Structure 1
Amino acid sequence: MWTEENRPRYNRDHLRYPSDLTDEEWALVEPLIPPGKRGGGKRKVIMREVVNGVMYILSTGCPWRYLPKDLPPKSTVHDYFSLWEWDGALDRIHHELYVKCREKAEREASPTAAIIDSQSVKAAEKGGLAWTRTALMRAS
């Protein structure tokens, strides 16, 4: 909630880029980053900087080639982003952060209700349930 009391928590002026993670945000994300390959040496790149690079691209919408030079090379950031997208790590990170946000707000981790605006939902053109029953009978 935006109050004068907690406003400093949302201030990003001290960061290099507004998309960079604060120490508090990094503490939440770091344990969710997949470990390096088994048997591989120590990573040569700082993972926080890779995540900052991904956040920069996602928040600005700019092409990869416009990634600032003080972040890891675009190929490195893109390779990690592609790997995390492919192996589902981004979905897992998103889910974990979503659950933590809901719990912090003292809400259920998974919402149990949804509201659908019937004016904006297109009705089935072919008889709904009867059509489904016919399709199931044909399939069996």
Structure 2
Amino acid sequence: MTDTEWAAVRAALPVPAWLEGRGGQPEGYCHRQMVDAVRYLVAGGITWRSMPADFPAWDRVYAFFRRWRDKGWTAEFHDRLRDRIREAGGRDREPTAGIIDAQSVKAAASVPAASRGFDGGKKVNGRKRHIVVDTLGLLLAVVVTAASVNDREAG
């Protein structure tokens, strides 16, 4: 991540409690290192344990990611960045229109049968992801269902 990108990202990150005097312990790693590590993992499609030695230990990066995900900070961070892009494009922060699409994907054998289904139209046994984007193509919502759920019910 370039310094310019980091400046934009840093302003959108939630402020840790210990910096605002609400208690807690300072974190042991820089947020930039952690965000870079998670971006590397997602972009490369690698496993957590395959994290290169240039980043903090994989278990620390995973703990960082898990904490942010569980507290809802990942979604909040995404929404803040989306709002900034919409405002930079001269649009309202909240979109007034959305586009819904669905895609059926095969599920691995390790996926529980209770969360899988058969999509008769696509001839796929697996799951279906339903995605809602605004008119700029920015993500608003994602729902994963069994492939047997039709698009009207999921929408």
The reply to whether TM is greater than 0.5 is yes
Question: 1:44 is paired with a residue of what secondary structure?
Answer: coil
- Kindly tell me: are residues 69 and 110 of structure 1, through their superposed partners in 2, closer, same or farther at Cα, counting changes over 3 Å? same
Question: 1:53 is paired with a residue of what secondary structure?
Answer: helix
CA distance, structure 1, for counterparts of residue 97 and residue 41 of structure 2: 33
**TM-fit CA distance, 1:116:** 6.1
Identity %: 34
More helix by share: 1
CA distance, structure 2, for counterparts of residue 122 and residue 52 of structure 1: 36
After TM superposition, the structure 1 stretch with the greater mean CA deviation from structure 2, 103-112 or 70-79, is 103-112
How many residues end up aligned between the 2 structures?
101
1:31-88, CA deviations, whole angstroms, 9 ceiling, x for partnerless residues?
Answer: 3144155242x43212210110011111111101111101111011000000000000
**TM-fit CA distance, 1:114:** 3.2
More strand by share: 2
2:70 is the alignment partner of 1:86: yes
- Kindly tell me: are residues 33 and 114 of structure 1, through their superposed partners in 2, closer, same or farther at Cα, counting changes over 3 Å? closer
Q: One-letter code of the match for 1:35?
A: P
2:6 is the alignment partner of 1:22: no
TM-score (norm 1): 0.63
1:36–1:43 CA contact under 8 A, matched in 2: no
Which structure is richer in relative contact order (CA contacts within 8 A, separation 6 or more)?
A: 1
- C-alpha RMSD of matched pairs (Å): 2.4
Partner of 1:76 in structure 2?
60
Which structure 2 residue ranges, 5 or more long, are not aligned? 102-149
TM-score (norm 2): 0.57
